[in-house]
Chains A and B, each alone.
Chain A
């Protein structure tokens, strides 16, 4: 049997171990990218095989945290895919401005880059005081890093470029402090962000949202899990609420597509049309 087929067996056993031992279900993750991540984990931890990883996951109490961190959403950028922020600024925020209080859910926040980007966008629109951002992830380790809001300074040129393309109104340096080779986001950006553990695979609706951002997370899920998550988003959104996904993601292969209306042909920003909790 070829190594790749033996690895498939190992990945299946690893997935089973994570589920039975720790309650994390990766069974509905897109297999090709999940296998890559698991093999990457084996390399990063200097292990010999996925089986060795499985053994550690079963017997080592604390090991699971670093595994979950590395299997969760990868690191992002400030103002990644900047054209989306232009659309949010020009098309979505003016609509949301009519609400006295605005709930925003950023699902799959990883290290928080997107939550801070959103906070900056809202500040520049003069709306941040009225907004509550719920930034969620299923990795506690990632959430702890997101709470800190510290990023490598070497990424600054990319962030600056993104911020400029996103139509930033000030200087990005006004929102963070550069020290040694690190950038720390200012505390005031964190004021209305709640970082919380939520697993899209197994957790449910936790509030009524006006805008949900979930970019480049659905690409890692199979159809049934995508449908589950999109159903969760639909049921969380107020009527007319907005869903923003990654520029290369779409709802066209999903069963909930009819509950959403595409806002712009170029960008994956959708508006919820059907009544809440509709079948």
Chain B
């Protein structure tokens, strides 16, 4: 059963994330952890935006914070976000990965090591190749990889790069990703 879901998004990601989160219901128990690349520091705006689109609680992940089920977390701007074995967050200002910080690769890789087959990773629209290496590790440790269909993604490069390097368990249009997550979380009739 899926315990956590990590999501990576870049160009076009904000509207994709809103649409994805709108599809999750109050009974969704896995933790949802999101890296959205952003050029600005005004991340609280994004937290507010996503909060409006989601029935689950949404907040910025804090250093050392215990990760709660049924909660949506966003990586803070300019910090990498990692998951530690005790299911707590860690931040880092180590160098950029794929020219970005936070990087989905960093989140995915650390989360994969912790949750293994109980993790789902989602690669959404984006114009770079961040997330692909992390996605490969998620799959190789038994987790489930969902990639947004590059043909309908606003920017196809990121999902396409993940598909090239990691393949995928599911390639789906955006509106079918939330139903798939509900199904992986064991929600009835999803």
Contact = CB atoms under 8 A, between A and B. Distances in A.
Contact of A33 (B76, B85, B94, B141): B94
Contact of A4 (B83, B90, B92, B113): B113
Interface string B159-177: 0000000000000000000
A223 interface: yes
A4 B106 CA distance: 14
Given A30-B84, A248-B62, A250-B63, A219 B140 contact: no
A249 interface: yes
B82 A33 contact: yes
A169 interface: no
A276 to B, nearest CB: 26
A33 B92 contact: yes
A43 to B, nearest CB: 12
A4 B137 contact: yes
B45 interface: no
Nearest to B111: A32
A94 interface: no
A219 B63 contact: yes
A253 B106 contact: no
A224 interface: no
B49 interface: no
Which range holds the interface residue count of chain B? 20 to 34
Interface in A1-15: 2, 4
Given A2-B140, A248-B76, A253-B64, A32 B94 contact: no
B5 to A, nearest CB: 18
A220 B92 contact: yes
Interface residue SS majority, chain B: mixed
B110 interface: yes
A36 interface: yes
Interface string A66-83: 000000001110000000
Interface residues of A, number: 22
Interface in A48-89: 74-76
A187 B84 CA distance: 43
B83 to A, nearest CB: 7
A31 B62 CA distance: 17
Contacts of A216: 93
B79 interface: yes
Contacts of A250: 62-63
B184 interface: no
Given A219-B63, A250-B62, A253-B64, A36 B94 contact: yes
Given A249-B63, A253-B64, A32 B79 contact: no
Nearest to A216: B93
16 contacts: A2-B141, A4-B141, A32-B84, A32-B90, A33-B92, A36-B94, A36-B106, A36-B110, A76-B93, A219-B91, A219-B92, A220-B90, A220-B92, A248-B76, A248-B79, A250-B62
